[in-house]
Amino acid sequence: MKVLVTGGAGFIGSNFLHYMVNKYPEYEFVCLDALTYAGNYNNLKPIEGKKNFKFVKGNICDKELVDKLFDDEKFDWVINFAAESHVDNSIKNPGIFVETNVMGTYNLLDASRRHDVKRYHQVSTDEVYGDLPLDRPDLLFTEDTPIKPSSPYSASKASADHLVRAYFRTFGLPITISNCSNNYGPYQFPEKLIPLMVSKAVNDEKLPVYGKGENVRDWIHVHDHNVGVDMIMHNGRIGETYNLGGRSERTNLEVVKTILKQLGKSEDLITYVTDRPGHDLRYAIDSTKAETELGWERTYNFEDGIKETIDWYVNNQDWIDDIKSGAYQKVYKK
């Protein structure tokens, strides 16, 4: 079994590879990653040199490169994690999100179709469903919730999901999709809430919180997400979408206060900043389908998972310092 994993030098993809390369020594994994600012070759160090793992630096938007890679490697499975993933960047520069998240996905779908891959899996987000009101805790996103994205990021991911489904319906490409809630865990680029706040709090810097910090996210440990993708690859039904969530809703302010408390820092470090335009209020996922069909369930509760995650960032200051200094971008060249 030969598996293409795109975006494997990023946060979720690298955790996925650490898990899968060790769990399935008989499978061969090829990671294709452009090493954008969010890609970090250091994330792949734990599996560097493993016999069943190979890294290829390349862009999913480069059709020629993608086609040649598919010709050479004859993949059985394609799992697409590669994306521009930061909502704030999508507000500043939407174009790159359309290029990577839509056109890049198109290139992979087209190559997968021409090479008869046995499965194409799209890693997507709960943000494609838009948001839920704060005062209706009974409402959750299901797989049948209408697609109604709010940001250029989520709109580009929703567009990609539509294309993936169209390749199933029109061309019979064997696809699956997972829509997952906010991930946390090791190796997340420190532009995202948890690593950003840990890194600032450790250095007694101000912690910027959007608006009043009331926006609610459902948090899932990255390992639980990746176990879900593994189960969908092995037992998911072709053509289906599976929601994966952590059943752990927290306001952003609660998350920031949890970090400060664990680090023994004062809440005076919190500073409230102008809200993000179009800021989604609440995400909440109903994972019943994955639970009943696949036997998937999240194993981390948020309290233990966040504690372990904060400890990881505190104990891996070198990893963060390499990013801050830009040294991480030279590791692959070396």
Ligand X SMILES: NC(=O)c1ccc[n+]([C@@H]2O[C@H](COP(=O)([O-])OP(=O)(O)OC[C@H]3O[C@@H](n4cnc5c(N)ncnc54)[C@H](O)[C@@H]3O)[C@@H](O)[C@H]2O)c1
Task: Provide the 3-class DSSP secondary structure of residue 43.
Answer: helix
Nearest to 184 by CA among 329, 39, 267, 298: 298
Return the residue of 4, 17, 38, 155 that touches ligand X, per CB under 6 A. 38
Residue 259 to residue 269: CA distance in whole angstroms: 11
| C-beta atoms surrounding 50 within 10 Å | 15
Task: Provide the 3-class DSSP secondary structure of residue 108.
Answer: helix
Six token digits for residue 84: 């521009």
The one catalytic residue in 33, 127, 131, 280 is 127
39 binds ligand X (CB under 6 A): yes
Under rule CB under 6 A, which residues in 142-201 are in contact with ligand X? 157, 180, 182-183, 189
Residue 136 to residue 134: CA distance in whole angstroms: 6
C-beta closer to ligand X: residue 63 or 265: 63
Q: Does the annotation mark 126 as catalytic? A: yes
100 binds ligand X (CB under 6 A): yes
Stretch of 46-54, 77-85, 201-209, 246-254 contacting ligand X, by CB under 6 A: 77-85
256 binds ligand X (CB under 6 A): no
Q: How far is the CB of 225 from ligand X (least distance, A)?
A: 7
Stretch of 1-9, 161-169, 202-210, 318-326 contacting ligand X, by CB under 6 A: 1-9
C-beta closer to ligand X: residue 96 or 263: 96
Q: Are 272 and 213 in contact (CB under 8 A)?
A: yes
193 torsion bin: left (phi>0), alpha (psi -120 to 50), beta (else): alpha
130 torsion bin: left (phi>0), alpha (psi -120 to 50), beta (else): left
C-beta closer to ligand X: residue 13 or 186: 13
C-beta closer to ligand X: residue 100 or 215: 100
Q: Directed axis angle between helix 193-202 and helix 302-315, to 10°?
A: 50
Q: How far is the CB of 125 from ligand X (least distance, A)?
A: 4
Q: Does the annotation mark 131 as catalytic? A: no
Give the position of tokens 């938007």.
61
Six token digits for residue 81: 């994690």
The one catalytic residue in 33, 126, 218, 280 is 126
C-beta closer to ligand X: residue 84 or 224: 84
Return the residue of 4, 5, 7, 248 that touches ligand X, per CB under 6 A. 7
Q: How far is the CB of 232 from ligand X (least distance, A)?
A: 13
Residue 109 to residue 159: CA distance in whole angstroms: 13
111 binds ligand X (CB under 6 A): no
Residue 176's DSSP bridge partners are 121
Return the residue of 52, 59, 90, 309 that touches ligand X, per CB under 6 A. 59
Q: How far is the CB of 41 from ligand X (least distance, A)?
A: 9
Stretch of 57-65, 69-77, 164-172, 233-241 contacting ligand X, by CB under 6 A: 57-65
Q: Does the annotation mark 127 as catalytic? A: yes
Under rule CB under 6 A, which residues in 292-331 are in contact with ligand X? none
Six token digits for residue 318: 């070198």
Burial category of 264 from C-beta neighbours within 10 Å (exposed 0-12, middle 13-18, buried 19 and up): exposed
Return the residue of 3, 5, 13, 42 that touches ligand X, per CB under 6 A. 13
Task: Provide the 3-class DSSP secondary structure of residue 115.
Answer: coil
The residue ranges that bind ligand X (CB under 6 A) are 6-7, 9-13, 33-36, 38-39, 59-61, 81-85, 100, 104, 123, 125, 157, 180, 182-183, 189
Q: Give me the active site residues, please.
A: 126-127, 153
